[in-house]
Structure 1
Amino acid sequence: MPEWFEMSVVIAFAIAAVFFFAKYRETATALHECERMKKRLSSDLDRYRDVPRLRALRDALISTDQLPVDDDGREHLLVRDSERQLYHVTLNHQAQAVSEGQEVTYRRDGIERLLQELGD
């Protein structure tokens, strides 16, 4: 076999290897980005999956007689946390409407503190 042919074959294989590894890195990067986006979107879906439950909880806490009430007047509900663990919550229901712009405070450690709206 002529020497120039062997060199041509070696150079062709070297160029093919460079293109192969470049394409492999590009594919690996795309798969990594896809996994990252899947995890992010999955956590977003988990958050939005909880929205109807949170709305139902909000409506139950604000309106009257929506939650089950025991003989002592306490209300009961079941709520799942971020790890989907189920919790039993017992409440003494007391809801008061607050007008827009009105500040609501509570006392902790003897100091009056401003109550922030959930989600702020």
Structure 2
Amino acid sequence: MPPWFETTLAIFAAIAAVFFFGKYRETAAALHEAERMKHKLSKDLDRYRDVPQLRALRDGLVGERKLPEDDDGHAHLLIRDSGRKLVHVTVQKTASPVAGDEKIHYQSGGEQQLLQELE
């Protein structure tokens, strides 16, 4: 084999290696980004998956929807915590509507506290 042919093959092999490793790094970066987005979207999906459950909880607590009650008047419900595990909650509820600009206070540690709306 002539030396110029061996040199040409070596140059083409080097160029092919550069393109191969460049494409490999690009693909690895794309896969890493896809995993990161999948994890982020999965967390977003978990948050949005809880929305109907939270609406049902809100409606049950304010009396727009009937929660199962026992003989003592305690309401019972099953909800999922942040770890997606079921939790049994027992509630003794008293719901009353609030006038437009009325301030609601509660007693905590012997002091009057202003109740803020849950956001």
TM-score when normalising by structure 2: 0.88
Q: CA RMSD in A?
A: 1.7
Match status 1:38 vs 2:38: yes
Once the two structures are overlaid, the 10-residue window that deviates more, 53-62 or 95-104, is 95-104
Once the two structures are overlaid, the 10-residue window that deviates more, 32-41 or 56-65, is 56-65
Change (3 A) 1:100 1:21: farther
- How far residue 12 of structure 1 moved from its aligned partner, in angstroms, is 0.6
1:109 aligned partner: 109
Once the two structures are superposed, residues 23-64 of structure 1 have per-residue CA deviations (whole angstroms, 9 ceiling, x without a partner) of: 000000000000110111111111111111111111111115
Amino acid across the alignment from 1:97: P
Q: Which runs of 5+ in 1 are unaligned?
A: none
1:66 aligned partner: 66
8 Å contact from structure 2 (residues 56, 65) kept in 1: no
8 Å contact from structure 2 (residues 77, 90) kept in 1: yes
TM-score when normalising by structure 1: 0.87
- How far residue 70 of structure 1 moved from its aligned partner, in angstroms, is 1.3
Count of residues in correspondence between the two structures: 119
* Distance (Å, rounded) in 2 between the aligned partners of 1:101 and 1:5: 90
2:8 aligned partner: 8
Amino acid across the alignment from 2:51: V
Q: Which runs of 5+ in 2 are unaligned?
A: none
* Distance (Å, rounded) in 2 between the aligned partners of 1:111 and 1:73: 29
1:94 aligned partner: 94
Q: What fraction of aligned residue pairs are identical, expressed as a percent? A: 61
* Distance (Å, rounded) in 2 between the aligned partners of 1:18 and 1:112: 71
- How far residue 112 of structure 1 moved from its aligned partner, in angstroms, is 3.1
- How far residue 65 of structure 1 moved from its aligned partner, in angstroms, is 6.5
